[in-house]
Structure 1
Amino acid sequence: MSEAYSPTAGMQNGFDMALLNTLDAQERSIVERRQRLLGSAYKLMYQHPVQFVRAEGVHMYDPQGNEYLDCYNNVPSVGHCHPRVAEAVSKQIATLNTHTRYMNESLLDYTEQLIETFRSDLGSVMYTCTGSEAVDLAMRIAKFNTGGTGIIVTEYAYHGITSAVAAISTTMGKHVPVDLHVRTVRAPDAYRAGPNVDVGARLANDIDAAVEDMERHGIKFAAFIADSLFSTDGLLTDSVGFLKPAIEAVHKHGGLYIADEVQPGFGRTGSHMWGFQRHGIHPDLVVMGKPMGNGLPIAGVVAKPQLLEEFGRKIRYFNTFAGNPVCISAAQAVLDVIRDEKLMHNSKVVGDYLLSGFKEIAKCYPQIGDVRGAGLYLAVEFVKDQESKEVDRDITLQVVNGLRERRVLMSTTGRGENSLKIRPLLPFQIEHADVLLNRFEETMKEVVRNA
């Protein structure tokens, strides 16, 4: 994998400090203070960074009161500052907040409802505060149960920031080395593979080869982990079912499948509550995070109970504020809102509308190589040539930053940084979709005109 991108140290669509003098005096002051107080690891988005002071629903507002359409932030999944979530959290934090070593029925009530969204073979939940912790814990469980240490990921995967999880996150660049017991496989990219390639069969074959290579080096295979929508690989959604042969290969070799649902989960795909369910497959472990509490730090691992039996007897695990009453109240409110406001159905309807709209616009622009999506998660991929499919990172960044100036927020994804990462909040309506499509088309016209 190539070196991380030098101007922004590996962050796609990050602010380049070389552009500091293009900002006004107040903006420069804020950026310089950030650099001094937080250090250079903290990055800002966009060529022209933006400041927000409040948010509501699918909009965010800058200090001047300008309204921005949020098509990016999946953490407040049911909408910024949702009143039901805010009320539940406020009530609980004024009543009790403590750890899980005391009996608390609200934790159990929520867990039962969460488990109901899965098949019956996934029946236990272990809570964490972050998605990174959840992935870290899932890997520990997988390694304990298989006796293996080998992990398979895709070539441009991201799963989190703990030392163990960063070591399986191949997006991090050469200064964060991939663990020696990690093997990579090609992502199931149907657009780049071409019409005659079965990406599901190819992925299964790649897993076979990866396990064989592990064994040749004395490494026992433990698990394959994948984001069910392959978000950082470019958002790969087609065709439904391509994961099934891969998971069959994983189980054939005695490994476990960890479904990373931090981004695809909680109804985002529209057709299912969880991204892996689109493929008709059955994971051994499921990790979830960011959207679970609409911004509060709650995440978790859903597991087949038999995987936790001996692990729980032999491995001491305690995470002080994982599953605390305040975060559980937020998670309960999120689950209630998804159901009561029919947000999964909304994700399907509005997502299909956006997908159709982007495809219609793409007919006028040869710079757009592919449009794909599932529910309210879409990608528009830019290329220099329709035949060669050579990536066009420059136009992608121009479009992202052009949309930012039109007060629409999104970012980029994919190894080539050449796909728009379009991830609206779940309450997104048709009227918001029309604003997004109109401003996207305006931006395309300007970018092409100035090329």
Structure 2
Amino acid sequence: MLNTFSTTAIINLIDKHYGLTVTAKELSGYDEANYFLEDTNGNAYICKIADESHHEAFLDAQVKILQYLAGSPVNKAFQQVIKNREEEGITTISSPEKIYYLRLLTWLEGQPMVTVTGTRELNAALGNFLGEMDQSLATFFHPAMHRDYSWDIARALDARENLVHIKDHEQRRLAAYFLLQFEMEVLPHLNKLRKAAIHNDANDYNVLVQGNEISGLIDFGDMVYTNLVNNLAIACTYVMLSAPDPLAAAVQVVAGYHKAYALTVEETDLLYYLVAARLCISVTTSAAHAAAGSTNTFHFITEAPAWKLLSQLITINPIAAQQAFREACGFASLINQEDDYAVLLAERKANIGRNLSISYQKPLKIVRGALQYLYDDKGRTFIDCVNNPSHVGHCHPTVVKAMQQQIAKLNTNTRYLNDNLIDYAKMLTATLPPSLEVCYFTNSGSEANDLAIRMSRHFTKQQDVIVLDHAYHGTSTVAMELSPYKFDGKGGFGKPAHTHKALNPDTYRGPYRATDPAAGKKYAADVQAIIAGLQEKGKGIAAYICETLLGVGGQIPLPQGYLEEVYTAVRAAGGVCIADEVQVGFGRVGDAFWGFELQGVTPDIVVLGKPIGNGHPLAAVVTTRAIADAFNNGMEYFNTFGGNPVSMATGLAVLQVIQEEGLQEHARVTGNYFMEGLEKLKAKHTIIGEVRGHGFFIGAELVRNRETLEPAVPEIDVIVEAMKERGFLLSTDGPLHNVLKIKPPMVFNKANTDALLHHLDEVLGSL
């Protein structure tokens, strides 16, 4: 199409239909042929030729809107339509093969905005100009403007069809997240917003500038009748693409627009999401063109900067953006900076159990989650480094949609047949050794641990359980009896008679250190001694339970060979080996899908929780056929919510995301990168005694002295608070509360890692 007419043919057509003698030069174009013309008097024009794929009615609308704007206060900023000899704005050219439509427009002087450095004045001028134009067009009508058009932001959700063409997992997840937010935050309000005929493409190639003034706006080929604010959102998008401070640049445009044509509060509050939606349309369209093999550079011209801006947008709290746009228009503030939550804290104290703790000296009120980010009500953004229950990220779009769709269809108990229950059990057991084949679903890791112990006691006819010192297995009565972290702590009830504590296999502080190649066997000997002691008393053992990497115990990987020795001894004594994978499993350790795989063992029962439902209350016990058969002793096992269709749909979605997005490998690569960075900080700051972990299960033990290993408390609390103020949420763990706990959502990336390490370096240096 673009090369159908030679410059000679164009010259002849202009002479024939317009009576003008011109020279012609072909210009590049997106989907129309464009030619620069100059007549004998030095007047410049642009000739545009479209084929039948461009409906004549819509080309007529483009002519009519320019003629309409010719009578507006901003008429000099638009091209004038040159009529042909028949006084028509469109010239129809017929050939044996096709019909073409020719339009002749005056040439506008100015540089495309993309070629100049944006300034505050220029951004404000752009907003002001668009406001004046939109106000002028408030009464313009043409039926062809009412069309279904993929570049209409109101139709942003159509972009979901092209998500599949985005090959990069992180990019696809990012676009899907923002499209989900459009569905939730924008779609319900669209019909309440003002509508108008808008230009719909004030990009930095179509906007012309001279100095700090807007000299013109060209190309009405994307115009559509839609929500008025979309015109502003598109202009903001392109200004933000190259701005060092994208939000500040958008604010300048918004202020200029509002000065010329008053916005509403509702419109400004949606701008953040509308900008994101425009970017999503752009990147998904580029991906679809790439999948189709396109070589047209115009299809990819903004792809790289659009992805960059989407990555920047998710780091901006939507409330901060809404507040900034409101301030630009003089609207009421959205944020109460004076609120110190005194009232909320008092109400919490009055209505909620007082031993439900709150993190940080200055509490946070978190109101939104976005993958690895959390947003508070003050407009601040935090990188989440500890919320491992949100395994694949807060509000992951795949998980959210699975939950929404299922709960809109059915949620009931397991006394009815449902495919989700079987589908998830099969998908889950496929990730485990073949001997682990029977599933029981519960609502929490605590409940799952409780059930696992109950099953072990049915199977062995014994009561005694061996746990690790400082271990934590949950909040149920049985789980508390297995948790020295609780029963030996403040307010604890002491060790029950049937619970036995084995040495915490800590190769940093314990009696056997990392330099001892036999440390694993030596720590295992303590378990063997406990078993021998029980046997001397004529007792057996029901179970040995431990996390396959120790969480509350100090973020500690088990020494090599430890579980192999322990499991052998436990089984020889007739006991059951239980692997608590609640905080460890589902690819978090990177080098394996399950923590027990790092030790080369297969447990008899695996307990799953936290990440299994990405924060949804879902947990599981998976065991052998023999143990399951022993548990089936005539007493029914029923759990009202365990295994319900919504929970199963959620679990399926989480596993799907882990596998399809390659999150285990991502945890391995990024986790190794993270620990390498921490090792570099360790070489620089003596307060870091040891860095340990696998994948995204990381601990950094802080000490005052590397020889005495005196714990760095309260220094670690100062560090955690300082990092929170810098936008990083960390926590502490370990028996001495001196281990930095790092277990972020699995979508945590290298940019997040670099930022955290940079700020941690500065905080440690300031101590």
Q: TM-score, normalised by structure 2?
A: 0.54
Moved more, 385-394 or 162-171: 385-394
How far has the Cα of 1:283 moved from its partner?
0.1
Q: Helix, strand or coil for the counterpart of 1:114?
A: helix
Aligned equivalents of 2:689 and 2:617: distance in 1?
Answer: 38
Q: Counterpart in 2 of 1:341?
A: 661
Three-state SS of the structure 1 residue aligned to 2:440 is strand
State the match for 1:177 in structure 2. Answer: 494
Larger Rg: 2
> Matched residue of 2:542: which SS?
strand
C-alpha deviation, 1:217, in angstroms:
4.4
* Rounded Cα–Cα distance in structure 2 between residues aligned with 1:245 and 1:290: 28
Partners of 1:240 and 1:110 in 2: CA distance: 32
SS of the residue corresponding to residue 153 of structure 1 reads strand
Q: Is the 8 A contact 2:701 2:740 kept in 1?
A: yes
Paired residue for 1:62, among 368, 373, 376? 376
Q: How far has the Cα of 1:410 moved from its partner?
A: 1.3
- Which stretch of the first structure deviates more once superposed, 428-437 or 337-346? 428-437
Match for residue 414 of structure 1 among 729, 734, 743: 734
> Greater shift after overlay, 382-391 or 287-296?
382-391
Q: Is the 8 A contact 1:377 1:422 kept in 2?
A: yes
Shift of 1:384: 1.7
Q: Deviations over 1:87-113 (max 9, x none)?
A: 110000010000011111121011111
Cα shift readout 1:251-283 (whole Å, capped 9, x = no counterpart): 122111100000000110001111111110010
- Whether 2:442 is the aligned partner of 1:128: answer yes
Aligned partner of 1:39 in structure 2 is 353
User: Would you say the 8 A contact 2:442–2:643 is kept in 1?
Assistant: yes
Tell me, yes or no, if the aligned pair for 2:550 and 2:558 is still in contact at 8 Å. Answer: no
1:202 Cα offset (Å): 2.0
* 1:235 alignment partner, one of 549, 555, 559: 555
SS at match of 1:379: strand
Residue 203 of structure 1: CA displacement? 2.4
Check whether the contact 2:392–2:745 (CA below 8 A) recurs between aligned residues.
yes
1:259-338 pair list within 5 angstroms: 259-338=579-658
2:634 & 2:628 partners in 1: Cα distance?
10
Cα deviation for residue 199 of structure 1 reads: 2.8
Counterparts of 2:412 and 2:396 in 1: how far apart (Å)?
Answer: 24
8 Å contact 1:241–1:278 — kept in the other structure?
Answer: no
Aligned: 1:356 with 2:667: no
Distance verdict in 2 for CA 1:251–1:310, change over 3 Å: closer
Name the structure 2 match of 1:203: 523
Residues matched between the structures, number: 425
* Distance (Å, rounded) in 2 between the aligned partners of 1:255 and 1:418: 34
Work out the CA distance in 2 between the residues paired with 1:136 and 1:334.
24
Identical counterparts, % of pairs: 36
Give, in angstroms, the shift of residue 160 of structure 1.
Answer: 0.5
Shift of 1:364: 1.1
Aligned-residue offset at 1:243: 2.1
* Highest RCO, 1 vs 2 (Cα 8 Å, sep ≥ 6): 1
Q: How does 1:2-81 map to 2 (within 5 A)?
A: 26-81=340-395
Q: CA RMSD in A?
A: 1.5
| Alpha-carbon offset, residue 216 of structure 1 | 4.1
**How far is 1:210 from its partner?**
1.2
Equivalent residue runs for 1:111-260 within 5 Å: 111-172=425-486, 173=489, 174-192=491-509, 193-194=512-513, 195-196=515-516, 198-237=518-557, 239-260=559-580
Shift of 1:213: 2.7
Partners of 1:181 and 1:219 within 8 A in 2: no
Pairwise CA distance, 1:177 = 3.0
Cα separation, 2, equivalents of 1:29 and 1:200? 52
Which ranges in structure 2 are unaligned for 5 or more consecutive residues? 1-336
Q: Report deviation, 1:315.
A: 3.2
> Aligned to 1:363, what secondary structure does the other structure show?
helix
Deviations 1:183-218 (Å, cap 9, x if unpaired)?
101111111232237331122211111122333445
Question: Quick one: distance in 2 between partners of 1:362 and 1:416?
Answer: 19
Please give the secondary structure, in 1, of the residue aligned with 2:656: helix
Which of the numbers 87, 90, 114 marks the counterpart of 2:404? 90
Indicate if the aligned counterparts of 1:136 and 1:162 stay in contact, CA closer than 8 A: yes
Could you say if the C-alpha distance between residues 198 and 28 of structure 1 is closer, same or farther in structure 2, counting changes exceeding 3 Å? farther
Which of 696, 700, 709 in structure 2 is aligned with 1:389? 709
| Structure 1 residue 28, shift from structure 2 partner | 2.3
CA displacement at 1:130 relative to structure 2: 0.9
SS in 1 for 2:556: coil
- Post-superposition offset of 1:167: 1.0
* Distance in 2 separating the partners of 1:112 and 1:79: 24
TM-score for both structures, normalised by structure 1:
0.91
Task: State the 1:407 CA deviation.
Answer: 1.3
Could you list the structure 1 runs, at least 4 aligned residues long, displaced by more than 4 angstroms after superposition: none
